[in-house]
Structure 1
Amino acid sequence: MMKRSVARKSLVGLGLAAIVLMFPVAAKPVADTVTQKFETPEFRLSLQQNSQTLVSLAPKAASDGFDFAPSGRFKTRLGNGAYRLGDIDLRVRSAGEAEWHDYSSAFKRAAVKPLAKEAGVLAAADISASVGGPIKVERRWVQEGGKLALRFTLTNTSEVAVEVGGLGIPMIFDNIITGRTLDEAHEKASFYDPYVGRDAGYLQVNRLNGRGPSLLVLPEAGTPFELYKPILNARNADKSLKIYNDPEQRNMTFEGFYDWMVTSKGFADTEWKGVSQWNETTSFTLAPGASRTIGVRFVTAPSVRKIEATLIAEGRPVAVGLPGYIVPTDMKAQLFLHAPAAVKSAEVFPAGALKLGTPEAVRDGWMKYSVQGVSLGRARLTLTYADGTVQTIHYLVTKPEAEAVADMGRFLFSKQWYENPNDLFHRSPSVMGYDKEEGHIITQDNRVWVAGLSDEGGAGGWLAAAMKELDNPVPEEVAKFERFANETLWGHIQVSEGPEKYGVRKSIFYYDPEHFPAGTYDPKLNWKTWASWDKKGADDIGRSFNYPHVAAAWWMLYRVGRYHEGLVTQPWQTYLTRAAETIKAMMVKAPYYTQFGQMEGDVFVAILKDLKREGMTAEASEIEALMKTRADHWKTLKYPFGSEMPWDSTGQPEVYAWMRYFGYQDQAAATREVILAYDPTIPHWGYNGSARRFWDFLYAGKISRIERQLHHYGSSNNALPLFDSYRANPEDFYLLRVAYGGLMGSLSNIDENGFASAAFHSFPDMMKFDPINGDYGSSFFAHAYAAASYLVNHPVFGWVGMGGNVSEANGKVVIAPKDSARTRLFIAPEKLWLTLDAGKIDAAAYDPKSGSVVLTLAPKDAHTSKAVLNIAGGYHLAQGGTVVALDAKPVEVMLVKN
């Protein structure tokens, strides 16, 4: 991913349609800026007087004047096409018509007709003049039972039946970062994500700084949350080109707004035809003179962690899936439900994709189902409750983790293995990016780094390959990677000689047609963009974000060489030294961006700790001093995780890691809470633990556009601080849930053949993983770094295994790890953190009474004759030492309290 200068140069790879979207049609301001002010027990709100659309929605629980609505941009958002909360979108057709017609109260505003206010109504209006079409629309802002609600009544005024195939309630909150500093964005802006759970669905709006309150938008009767549609367009009169009218440009500082879709069949049958949506798409028909009322309520939760408790208090069905909603076929998952009515029926689509166990009561009103993944791919569980409420929960079934990772390794070292001694750019041998649609390696891209083995989008293939070997080394794969490291990485990607030694180039592919034979460059690609660097631009070593990839590669080779026999050809000291020198080079040769956290920056902490353990004191001291200068700077900042972007979810993990390392606990805690603001727990595999990102398809995707990315590399990387925080405070189970969602999200990108995609396209016209690898390597870095199993005794849910299957017998609790590494285990009641530098854990039996733990270690293999155990948490091996000789059969060892 190349992120520099994007404010000026954000059109790379977009194409004509997207360029039209980027530049809005000028709005014509409406003169009336008079507002009406109201209060409810939770909010201070104001409406524009002449339209009765929302101007401000300030929660009383926030003492700093925070506003969920973009009130600061009210005067710039007065014209046609600028959506506000209180607008409505319709797609309808009359009986006998085949074609759908679009209407919106935001397309061409007209004066609304105020209506008499019944009891509890704050404002009411007939807004039909703005909407147009055969349906009269009345809108009411209501206070009922102390809660604020927005309701629309739709009435068919024509003489024939009208089918409503698209009904959208625009969700307009202040997610606009444009023109704000990092501090201002965190103080004033919000991000929001949907739970498209039909009647049980909701929208959660969280402040960027992670502080409460959070806003929940809840459905009223007849208002299922069917789909979540980006607001991108208005139809021209000739129904041709769709033009984005919002005065805010969609780019890296504004992802756009969305519609809460109550019905969407009119889109599913046309623009989205053939695309499998999250829910079954519907429409409804209004007979002549018939009406239907839909609406949403606005409720505040005290904090992000209290969202589910607030939903329960509001009488909403709540689902908690453990370890999440990405379910490997060998994982015994669980689903806990809390609802005001009993489950009447449960249906799985596709049929048989999931196997549900018999429900059983747990405590405090919770019911438990066992969930077994059967068929690979997306699966939807539809629950119908006795009161008629319908809830959908969205799962993804994968292969067992170890099998999926092994598939990926084989794919990387076969399909993505590039061997061409005549390559003009010295990229051979290497693991390169791959285009799944075309079925070949990406040797050319006008974003030159994508084909140039550097930056996130070009290093993604080989970085994933490196980290795959960290926990699961295969001799043939390690041998290939070492060849790449010593023949291509060392000397071409990373400078190996002269004063620039250890500097990392931005790309080793570049555009220079004068110095290469005719036909070198594909004429079908646009080589006139800023992203088509010449050799000088590609050789630049000043981008610090390229250095962690290289450091991770050397670190992996060190670890494999140090703790396994006969897998690498050079001394492990060589690779650890290169890793250390890469860190130092970053600080000297690419200093500017080191003021920000780096993606994969946790590897720097790991390298420093390894240097200390190996007695390489001089190297360790130098690196520690360099890193402390960064940490000391971050310690002075209110929000210490800036980026080369106006806002980012890249830097927080490394910032957190160094804050913890140097004992700056307040800054670490602030960083953790910010992560929770953009990293949700939602009963949906795509959103659960999916740290927000919406621009990296521009830089590392094939389908290049601004779009909420699901399980981009931010998911697994932002899980790292949450795992660490949870191990420090196992009472905060919420942290573990979010973290595990992100960790598993990294596996969702691996298809059944082993191809790993950059991220999932969430827009309803696409709904698929991107066809190229892109920057997936950064995602798998964090997965391999953090893969572990967690044994938890939850006060309501009982014994839970996150990453492992749990059983109880003879007073002991046994966890059999099923995570992709099987080298890390946390036993939460004891705060016992076990990690293996070599060896695998088959099982652990924990005795809650004595606290003893019996580990069963997997048999040795040809390159691993001993297990090397690290113990944190007040335990020791009964036999003494930390090294265990392995055998041809599993070996049991006991850990006892000190």
Structure 2
Amino acid sequence: MTLPRLPALAALLLVGAAPAMPVTPFAVGALRGTLRADTQTLARLSPAAEPGFSFVPTAREAERAGDGYNHVGDIDIRLRSGNGPWRDFGSAHRRRPIRPLPAVRGTIAAADITATMGDGIPLAVERRWVVAGGALGLRFRLTNRSNAPVEIGGLGLPMAFDNIITGRDLDQAHAQSSFADPYIGRDAGYLQVTRLSGKGPTLLVLPGRDTPFEAYAPLADAADAPAGSVFTEKTPREQTFEGFYDWLVHSRGFAEREWRGAGEQWNLPTSRTIAPGASIEIGLRLVTAPSIRAIEPTLIAQRRPVAIGIPGYVVPTDQPATLFVRAPATIAVIDSSPAGALSVRRDGTVHGWTRLAVTSHGFGPARLTLRYADGQRQTVSYYVIRPLDATMAALGRFATTRQWYEGKGDPFGRTPAILTYDHEAQRIVDVEPRVWIAGMSDEGGAGSWVAAMMKQLDHPEPVEVAKLERLVDETVVGRLQVADGPHAGGVRKSLFYYDPARFPTLYRDPAQWKSWTAWSVRQAGDLGRSYNYPHVAIGHWVLYRLARNHDGLVTRHDWRWYLGWAQRTIVAMMRDAPHYTQFGQMEGNVFLDILADLRREGMTVEADTVEALMRRRADHWAGLRYPFGSEMAWDSTGQPEVYDWLRHFGYDRQAVQTREVILGYDPAVPSWGYNGNARRYWDFLYGGKYPRIERQIHHYGSTNNALPLFDSFRRDPADLHLLRVAYGGLMGGITNIDSDGFASAAFHAWPDRMRWDPYSGDFGMGYFAHAYAVATYLVDDPIFGWLGFGGAVTRDGGDVTIRPRDGARTRLFVAPAGQWITLEAGRIAAARYTPADGTIVLTLDPADAHTPRARLSVIRTTPRGHDYAPTTGTAERGGVTLPLGTGPTEVTLSPIG
């Protein structure tokens, strides 16, 4: 086809603030863009309907025009001849003039770029920008012009999309920046480039033939790269710039060098040999999906294999899972690695989707490979875990035994305590130059005791509860939180601090203590960081719930004492740490439950005080375009609390906008690592043993950002995308728990490590959200049919039964009825739903020594439908109290009216 040439004025408008250099404009499908005439790399890529926005760093084109700056259209190659050493060549490393080639029909621009690849390359490299099936295509031809075979062990295409937040405020970042999330699935892999605002369109980068998405490797900071490497980027990586990555078609050359000793890669590293005089071709296609939710339909329209895991890709060994697959070719072979980790049974088809029943065995990461009849291979990454009851039991044991710190004559007052743990060294971290990590506060130090506390909410263990009562009484209230008349005086930043004059032999290696992180006693005692207050409020709130709903578990104080301290902690935050309260707090969702409990208990004055303080915050957020700030330039920590208070005070439009922003950085992809993995990339600096800017897998953002998505799904059960992403984050956030109960802060995503960080760090901030929200969801989807998220579904005549296996078994959402069922005491063994009359019959576990009665609440979450009520029980505190017997107890919930 003949491409239209835009007039000069239009070309200038497209370029906007880009450098005054010649460009080649193009228009393909729903995309408009320009190529730099000198390098033929992508200078702008805009949706046709929004020419002022660009997916690539157009606004920085001038400053990024020189050597060492990567652009879409560049290529990196690692190769060797015979048994020689690997050598690197790259088009961006040292720019030299390229030789344009004739643009034949369907070609936008073509060039021989061999000269800019570097001296001594044995390959000729040609690049073409083409129109391929109505989409923008990027193709490379590599020809071996030497007399010996050439092995390609690293073949990378830089994915330089505009994730540079540096120099932009929040409004500008949400309007102009994008995040790229990978599905590293070989021939079915793709990259989705989503805007920070969550708005469409979304850009999809798809593989051409022989261009599998084998690995996703960061382009190293040029200043830190080893000599001779060209897999680098000159734009400095920092909190406002995660860095760029290479789409690696082959990666064996890295596996043999930089990645040696790392954990298992997402795919087996491969290489490819080109015979003398022979050529290979690789390429990508760029298309748009109209919205984030339309990504999978767009992939199907583009004839790409699509896999959807229900409930996701984290599979406890006692729970069933299903993989729905839709592809142009039939599945010929299914392989599991490790062998036997995943058993797959073909289970028919549904509306054009192949249904695969998946069961899991063992523990740890596992990979399914689907081999299609047309030769393509798709990999789906799973993580196998133990049954959730066993997982939570191990977490509680580990935290209250191996992390328990007491009786050591600690001069900092950290006794009793649960401190950060180094799983690699098998020891408690009681001294650390980042003093909060050893100081029980801030996220990196409070994470372990918060996790231990939240474990008791759904899995109370008397011995553990007794220890945590002591921790709260003697250390949190006695040391971290200071009494000031009837109010909480504040929450310290750290109990541990740096004072070499007082403790001359304590701080080893003085060079490590020169950083700002080595707080003095005055700095550590500061009350002004509001992010610390939810940690303490959680401790009080969990013990209140246990004291109120169970017999004999909490003995030091009554429930009023704990709920009162929880309320005073909120008031103290607003009084003593007002600056950061303008932002949402991680774990701040607990404040809504504290408010609701105050109301249920008749503590009206205290509740009114909290509600008035929170309304000021919500009113402020409702007036902002993007109210998601934090102490960082961009963050994914505040959105969950912001969403909840906006909903509470009736700012529904702003709450919906908050939800859509979350979807912009929280993807749904067929990988345990990236599915529901809300973007985090700098907190290894503050809570990890190996600190660096690096995409973190299932840091605490995964579970925290699931909270608004769960709430939104309960309001709109037709939007399955919300539930899939939320459940991915919920379950992804507990893959951090090892088989012995140790819980890591996060997984290192870069392929040179691919392991869990050895520090427990801030894991507890994410486990808070898991314990807070874990539930079973019963869904009747128009495409996939009856689905269970967190439980096994069976059908008997007209009845549908789900048996929860979510670990807590205290929360159940029956989507067709729009009913949110929660228990503050008691556990659900099964639920039977009868669609014909809407009846729900719960089977509850027998009573035990601490739980003689159940506390049940039923809420209708959707505008349509009926309210429900149990046919038995005593109304109390906004719910119903039911006696439990020595055997199972059945409770019938019937529609009212």
TM over 0.5: yes
Q: How do residues 200-239 of structure 1 correspond to structure 2 at under 5 angstroms?
A: 200-233=188-221
Cα offset for 1:403? 0.9
Is 265-274 or 343-352 further displaced after alignment?
Answer: 265-274
Cα offset for 1:389? 1.1
The answer on 1:520 being equivalent to 2:533 is no
Judged with a 3 Å threshold, the aligned counterparts in structure 2 of structure 1 residues 366 and 591 are, in CA distance, closer, same or farther, namely same
Is 245-254 or 786-795 further displaced after alignment?
Answer: 245-254
Cα offset for 1:519? 1.4
Q: Distance in 2 between matches of 1:294 and 1:736?
A: 36
Cα offset for 1:128? 0.4
Cα offset for 1:501? 3.6
Q: Distance in 2 between matches of 1:37 and 1:563?
A: 67
Query: 1:202 is matched by which residue type in structure 2?
Result: Y
Q: Is the 8 A contact 1:876 1:895 kept in 2?
A: yes
> Residue 658 of structure 1: which of 627, 630, 645 is its match?
645
Q: Distance in 1 between matches of 2:809 and 2:458?
A: 8
Cα offset for 1:789? 0.2
The answer on 1:138 being equivalent to 2:108 is no
Q: Is the 8 A contact 1:235 1:242 kept in 2?
A: no
Query: Residue 135 of structure 2 corresponds to which residue in structure 1?
Result: 147
> Residue 889 of structure 1: which of 868, 874, 887 is its match?
887
Q: Is the 8 A contact 2:186 2:213 kept in 1?
A: yes
Query: 2:702 is matched by which residue type in structure 1?
Result: S
Cα offset for 1:242? 6.3
CA offset digits 1:62-114 (Å, max 9, x no partner): x36211010000000011111011100000001241x1001100110000000
Cα offset for 1:879? 2.0
Helix, strand or coil: the match of 2:751? coil
Q: Is the 8 A contact 2:212 2:249 kept in 1?
A: yes
> Residue 617 of structure 1: which of 589, 595, 604 is its match?
604
Query: 2:798 is matched by which residue type in structure 1?
Result: G
Q: Is the 8 A contact 1:445 1:525 kept in 2?
A: no
> Residue 356 of structure 1: which of 344, 363, 367 is its match?
344
Q: Is the 8 A contact 1:726 1:736 kept in 2?
A: yes
Q: How do residues 169-180 of structure 1 correspond to structure 2 at under 5 angstroms?
A: 169-180=157-168
Helix, strand or coil: the match of 2:62? helix
The answer on 1:783 being equivalent to 2:770 is yes
Query: 1:782 is matched by which residue type in structure 2?
Result: A
Q: Is the 8 A contact 2:88 2:230 kept in 1?
A: no
Q: How do residues 578-593 of structure 1 correspond to structure 2 at under 5 angstroms?
A: 578-593=565-580
Q: Distance in 1 between matches of 2:819 and 2:324?
A: 26
Q: Distance in 1 between matches of 2:820 and 2:51?
A: 40
> Residue 304 of structure 2: which of 316, 319, 328 is its match?
316
Helix, strand or coil: the match of 1:341? coil
Q: Distance in 2 between matches of 1:244 and 1:140?
A: 22
The answer on 1:128 being equivalent to 2:126 is no
Cα offset for 1:145? 2.4
Cα offset for 1:524? 6.2
Helix, strand or coil: the match of 2:206? strand
CA offset digits 1:338-387 (Å, max 9, x no partner): 11111000000000000111231111x10101110112111000001111
Q: Distance in 2 between matches of 1:374 and 1:244?
A: 38
Q: Distance in 1 between matches of 2:486 and 2:80?
A: 70
Cα offset for 1:493? 1.1
The answer on 1:337 being equivalent to 2:325 is yes
Cα offset for 1:543? 0.3
Query: 1:42 is matched by which residue type in structure 2?
Result: A
Q: Distance in 1 between matches of 2:251 and 2:346?
A: 34
Q: Is the 8 A contact 1:235 1:243 kept in 2?
A: no
Q: Distance in 1 between matches of 2:607 and 2:887?
A: 39
Query: 2:402 is matched by which residue type in structure 1?
Result: K
Q: How do residues 271-290 of structure 1 correspond to structure 2 at under 5 angstroms?
A: 271-275=258-262, 276-290=264-278
Query: Residue 509 of structure 1 corresponds to which residue in structure 2?
Result: 496
Q: Distance in 2 between matches of 1:387 and 1:750?
A: 39
Judged with a 3 Å threshold, the aligned counterparts in structure 2 of structure 1 residues 197 and 459 are, in CA distance, closer, same or farther, namely same
> Residue 552 of structure 1: which of 534, 538, 555 is its match?
538
Cα offset for 1:197? 0.5
Q: Is the 8 A contact 2:368 2:381 kept in 1?
A: yes
> Residue 454 of structure 1: which of 425, 441, 459 is its match?
441
Q: Distance in 2 between matches of 1:793 and 1:359?
A: 18
Is 489-498 or 622-631 further displaced after alignment?
Answer: 489-498
Q: Is the 8 A contact 2:72 2:159 kept in 1?
A: yes
Judged with a 3 Å threshold, the aligned counterparts in structure 2 of structure 1 residues 236 and 306 are, in CA distance, closer, same or farther, namely closer
Q: Is the 8 A contact 1:823 1:839 kept in 2?
A: yes
Helix, strand or coil: the match of 2:501? helix
Cα offset for 1:496? 2.2
Query: 2:107 is matched by which residue type in structure 1?
Result: V
Helix, strand or coil: the match of 1:281? coil
Query: Residue 6 of structure 2 corresponds to which residue in structure 1?
Result: none
Helix, strand or coil: the match of 1:637? coil
Q: Is the 8 A contact 1:102 1:235 kept in 2?
A: no
Judged with a 3 Å threshold, the aligned counterparts in structure 2 of structure 1 residues 241 and 44 are, in CA distance, closer, same or farther, namely closer
Q: How do residues 343-382 of structure 1 correspond to structure 2 at under 5 angstroms?
A: 343-363=331-351, 365-382=352-369
What TM-score results when the alignment is normalised by the length of structure 2? Answer: 0.95
Query: 1:895 is matched by which residue type in structure 2?
Result: L
Judged with a 3 Å threshold, the aligned counterparts in structure 2 of structure 1 residues 233 and 896 are, in CA distance, closer, same or farther, namely same
Query: 2:198 is matched by which residue type in structure 1?
Result: G
Q: Is the 8 A contact 1:33 1:75 kept in 2?
A: no
Q: Distance in 2 between matches of 1:265 and 1:524?
A: 41
> Residue 689 of structure 1: which of 676, 692, 705 is its match?
676
Judged with a 3 Å threshold, the aligned counterparts in structure 2 of structure 1 residues 626 and 520 are, in CA distance, closer, same or farther, namely same
Q: Distance in 1 between matches of 2:232 and 2:841?
A: 64
Judged with a 3 Å threshold, the aligned counterparts in structure 2 of structure 1 residues 511 and 322 are, in CA distance, closer, same or farther, namely same
Query: 2:342 is matched by which residue type in structure 1?
Result: L
Q: Percentage identity across aligned positions?
A: 56
Helix, strand or coil: the match of 2:808? coil
The answer on 1:739 being equivalent to 2:737 is no
Q: Distance in 2 between matches of 1:292 and 1:499?
A: 76
Judged with a 3 Å threshold, the aligned counterparts in structure 2 of structure 1 residues 235 and 156 are, in CA distance, closer, same or farther, namely farther
CA offset digits 1:379-438 (Å, max 9, x no partner): 000001111111000000000111101100000011001112510100010111100001
Q: How do residues 336-485 of structure 1 correspond to structure 2 at under 5 angstroms?
A: 336-363=324-351, 365-485=352-472
Q: Distance in 1 between matches of 2:132 and 2:589?
A: 50
> Residue 28 of structure 2: which of 40, 62, 70 is its match?
40
Q: Distance in 1 between matches of 2:239 and 2:230?
A: 19
> Residue 689 of structure 2: which of 702, 716, 728 is its match?
702
Q: Distance in 2 between matches of 1:833 and 1:246?
A: 49
Query: Residue 667 of structure 1 corresponds to which residue in structure 2?
Result: 654
Helix, strand or coil: the match of 2:38? coil
CA RMSD after TM alignment: 1.5
Cα offset for 1:455? 0.2
Query: 1:876 is matched by which residue type in structure 2?
Result: A
Q: Which runs of 5+ in 2 are unaligned?
A: 1-17, 861-866, 875-879
Q: Distance in 2 between matches of 1:339 and 1:891?
A: 46
The answer on 1:566 being equivalent to 2:536 is no
Q: Distance in 2 between matches of 1:134 and 1:752?
A: 49
Cα offset for 1:249? 1.7
Q: How many residues are matched?
A: 864
> Residue 679 of structure 1: which of 666, 679, 682 is its match?
666
Q: Is the 8 A contact 2:813 2:819 kept in 1?
A: yes
Q: Is the 8 A contact 1:32 1:50 kept in 2?
A: no
Q: Is the 8 A contact 1:491 1:497 kept in 2?
A: no
Cα offset for 1:833? 0.5
The answer on 1:65 being equivalent to 2:52 is yes
The answer on 1:631 being equivalent to 2:624 is no
CA offset digits 1:434-469 (Å, max 9, x no partner): 000010110011000000000000000100011000
What TM-score results when the alignment is normalised by the length of structure 1? Answer: 0.95
> Residue 856 of structure 1: which of 814, 835, 843 is its match?
843
Helix, strand or coil: the match of 1:597? coil
Q: Distance in 2 between matches of 1:785 and 1:245?
A: 42
Q: Distance in 2 between matches of 1:500 and 1:372?
A: 53
Query: Residue 16 of structure 1 corresponds to which residue in structure 2?
Result: none
Query: Residue 871 of structure 2 corresponds to which residue in structure 1?
Result: 878
Cα offset for 1:40? 1.1
Judged with a 3 Å threshold, the aligned counterparts in structure 2 of structure 1 residues 180 and 525 are, in CA distance, closer, same or farther, namely same
Helix, strand or coil: the match of 1:514? coil
Q: Distance in 1 between matches of 2:405 and 2:345?
A: 47
Query: Residue 564 of structure 2 corresponds to which residue in structure 1?
Result: 577
Cα offset for 1:274? 3.1
